[in-house]
Structure 1
Amino acid sequence: MSPPSLIQASAPSSHSAPIALSYELFPPRNEAASLSLWDTIGKLESTNPDYVSVTYGANGSNRDTAVDLLNRLLTETSLLPLAHLTCVGNTGDELADIISELLDHGVRGILALRGDLPSDVPEQPRAGALTYAQDLIELIRRVEQRRSALLCAGKVAIGVAAYPARYPESPSIEHDIEVLLAKQRSGADFAITQVFFHADQYKDLVNRARRAGVSIPIIPGVMPLTSLRRVQRLGDLTGVEPSAKLLDALGRAENAAESRRIGVQETVGLARAALDAGAPGIHLYTFNEHAAALEVLDKLQLLRPGRPQIPARAARASQSARVATDRLVTA
């Protein structure tokens, strides 16, 4: 009789995976924003996140700066980047070239998104243009298959978006789950949720998804809700009504410090509710600001594994920091 498989054996509970931690960053728009961002990156790197995601502008509007940021993360830090990629308005051939470029640079994680529809949508879409995130997932897998020999040191991990509340363009939350299941069938490995404002929304999403057959990890995306204007703007973008209690508290805040305290407390509550519901990780939308994100992380008290510093990258990071300092001195 064959010996029992190690894969089939039950792992001791003490060997359960730690809570994953990740952050979202967006490419800087100018030199001053770049200096500020790299200060934030240094602070976030000290927490040993599992990866950081880098956003991608609508229709590739910031492609060059996004690729530059991804390159610097790979060569100057110990961070593992997850590249956002949107498909709306682009053809399969164009996107295949972009995917190949990302892989050539060393990116091994892609967040596959449809992207926001442009305001001037043509009546007839471009020939060969991709329409849905599911199409992009399948394209990534085809590009990956063609390059399988080049990727022996690491396959591509594909993430997708999930929606705790109904997606604004969707007919129902049931349809959202069907879309998520279709993304999984096309090759998605994990999902990150849109921002949510109510503690039960993440748990309800996971319950609906699991009943429908979705088995991939669903990671809650949370944002330090420290700005009344930003919270209201997010509510408009997501189609989700923020907590009336939160809006009232932020509206009554007498200064930025009080607003930050209120927002951090609210965000910690949402994250803890998600963790209590079995969330495998936390994804923090930082808006390129580290202070509130680190405060949320500190209050959550997530255990982070120590990782050895990589000498070559450390040297390059130190050199980059000196260059940035020289620019400030000589400006």
Structure 2
Amino acid sequence: MPPPTYPALSYELYPPRNAAAEESLWTSIRRLEDTRPDFVSVTYGAAGSNRETAIHLLRRLLTETTLRPLAHLTCVGTSRAELTQIVERLIGGGVRGILALRGDAPEGFEAAAGDVEHADDLVRLIREVEGRRTAQLAAGRVSVGVAAYATRHPDSPSVEQDIEVLLAKEEAGADFAITQVFFTPSDYTRLVTRARRAGVTIPIIPGVMPLTSTRRLKKLAGLAGVDVDETLWAKLDGARTDEERRRVGVTATVGLARAALDDGAPGIHLYTFNEHAAALDVLDALDLERPPEAGLAASL
């Protein structure tokens, strides 16, 4: 009998901006660690603006926790030589997962000849570095993730173009994709249907976020290039307390995640904003079945 399969569980974290934020982040890390996620992704600012802080966080996650970090890496605004050095540094430091992203170009940015301009090229670069590190990796592989868009990417002419880009990332060597946020269950369903018809075979993990304020909803919609969900906005705006707003956001997120899982999603990726409470509320409501403790397998 084949072993049981479990939905993947992961969280996104971002490096703290100051000492107070760092203390709060590590409270969240310890609470999220108790849920035994498959990985946690660590993001950083545009063009790697706080890359060193992110690398410091990655190092601490590797040495002070049981968590498996997935390092965000963007290519726009960074030379090929620097990207190669960063990938070498990540792998040398023990990172075994990288999320390869294009990133947002700084205003007035123009790529130089030979620069890595797109995510599929970054995936290839990671694989090239990996190929030179096979001994260090014990003949293993770095797990490479990429972004997918349940609604049209703001810089894309069409959703069809988005699927072509996703297919190119897979052909370059990507192992899985995580979606940007979306507000309607059918958005994820349509994305997966279009992707499979086009020949995309990698797992596509839905990314969801507990939206607990209108300010965050507006900011996120702007960053992701998606329209604000008017129904959710109205409910958040009409809530009279923070606790009521949290319940509204958690309920909406649980609905999206459950619909995606029912539709065959391989797991759930939770964008946390470095806050554990709402993320844990979502997880409790979903009641995801998790694999047994690793220690149980060690005795086999």
TM norm structure 2: 0.96
Residue 174 (structure 2) pairs with residue 188 (structure 1): yes
Identity among equivalent positions (%) equals 63
> By how many angstroms is 1:146 displaced?
1.1
Q: How does 1:138-149 map onto structure 2 within 5 Å?
A: 138-149=124-135
Q: Distance in 2 between matches of 1:153 and 1:269?
A: 41
Q: Distance in 2 between matches of 1:135 and 1:90?
A: 13
Q: Distance in 1 between matches of 2:59 and 2:254?
A: 32
Is residue 89–residue 126 contact of structure 1 (8 Å, CA) maintained in 2?
no
Q: Distance in 1 between matches of 2:193 and 2:294?
A: 38
> By how many angstroms is 1:154 displaced?
3.3
Change (3 A) 1:308 1:277: closer
Residue 265 (structure 2) pairs with residue 282 (structure 1): no
Residue 241 (structure 2) pairs with residue 255 (structure 1): yes
Residue 63 (structure 2) pairs with residue 98 (structure 1): no
> By how many angstroms is 1:209 displaced?
0.2
Aligned to 1:204: 190
Structure with max Cα Rg? 1
Q: Distance in 2 between matches of 1:90 and 1:129?
A: 8
Q: Distance in 1 between matches of 2:30 and 2:63?
A: 14
Aligned to 2:97: 109
Is residue 46–residue 104 contact of structure 2 (8 Å, CA) maintained in 1?
yes
Q: Distance in 1 between matches of 2:185 and 2:201?
A: 22
Aligned to 2:286: 300
Q: Distance in 2 between matches of 1:41 and 1:252?
A: 31
> By how many angstroms is 1:306 displaced?
3.6
Residue 40 (structure 2) pairs with residue 52 (structure 1): yes
Is residue 138–residue 187 contact of structure 1 (8 Å, CA) maintained in 2?
yes
Q: Distance in 1 between matches of 2:19 and 2:108?
A: 31
Q: How does 1:1-331 map onto structure 2 within 5 Å?
A: 12=2, 15-122=3-110, 125-152=111-138, 154-308=140-294
TM norm structure 1: 0.87
Q: Distance in 1 between matches of 2:132 and 2:73?
A: 19
Q: Distance in 1 between matches of 2:135 and 2:238?
A: 59
Give the secondary structure class of the aligned counterpart of 1:150: coil
Is residue 108–residue 154 contact of structure 1 (8 Å, CA) maintained in 2?
no
> By how many angstroms is 1:293 displaced?
0.2
Q: Distance in 2 between matches of 1:308 and 1:294?
A: 21
Aligned to 1:319: none
**1:165-207, Cα deviation, whole Å (9 max, x unpaired):** 0000000000000000000000000000000011111111000
Q: Distance in 2 between matches of 1:255 and 1:120?
A: 43
Runs of 4 or more, structure 1, over 4 Å off, are none
> By how many angstroms is 1:155 displaced?
1.3
Q: Distance in 1 between matches of 2:132 and 2:168?
A: 23
